[in-house]
Amino acid sequence: MNCPEETKGVIIMNNSNENKTTTEAKSTKKLYKGDRAPMVSMTMLKTSRAITGALGRIEVRRSWINEQKGILMESFNSNDPIKKQDAFVTAERLASSIPGLNEKEQALKDKLAVVQQEELAQLKDLEFPEFSI
């Protein structure tokens, strides 16, 4: 609902629905579906949580590629030369990306073991606090 307010000769229109929509859009995180290559920058991944998130994105990507295989095969078996060519090019691109995913996954697993040991070493002196309800 628009409510005009007059402030020093200036009319300001407020729309609370627009403000809510803008705030919700900024706070909503886009869910990774696997349709793009996952962001896996080894230099930026410094915590076990970040590394496990990257490993999860690789798994989502693999699952998405596996789903695409059937769709691409169906298009490739089509009598339409454009669909056949597009399916071939896409399948080649996806197939060539799999070795890179395997390498990144192995590097992340190796790094995860080291980072987890470092994090545990930092937490070894902590004692669980006593509390009662």
Instruction: Provide the Cα torsion 56, 60, 61, 65; round to 10°.
Output: 150
Q: CA 88 to CA 34: how far, in whole Å?
A: 19
6 found inside a domain: no
- Per-residue pLDDT, averaged over 61-79, amounts to 94
* 75: confidence class by pLDDT, cuts 50, 70, 90: very high
For residue 24, the one-letter residue type is: E
108 found inside a domain: yes
* Mean of per-residue pLDDT scores for the chain: 83
Total of domains in the chain: 1
What pTM, to 2 d.p., does this model score?
Answer: 0.69
* 53: confidence class by pLDDT, cuts 50, 70, 90: very high
Comparing 77 with 3, the larger pLDDT belongs to 77
For 110-127, the three-class secondary structure string (H helix, E strand, C coil) is: HHHHHHHHHHHHHHCCCC
91 found inside a domain: yes
The pLDDT score that the predictor gives to residue 36 is 82
The pLDDT score that the predictor gives to residue 18 is 52
16 found inside a domain: no
Q: Which domain holds residue 78?
A: 48-116
pLDDT digits (tens, 9 = 90+) for 89-101: 999 999 999 999 9
* 76: confidence class by pLDDT, cuts 50, 70, 90: very high
* 10: confidence class by pLDDT, cuts 50, 70, 90: low
13 found inside a domain: no
Q: Which residues contact 100 (CB under 8 A, 6 or more apart)?
A: none
38 found inside a domain: no
111 found inside a domain: yes
- Per-residue pLDDT, averaged over 32-59, amounts to 86
Tokens of 22: 């803008």
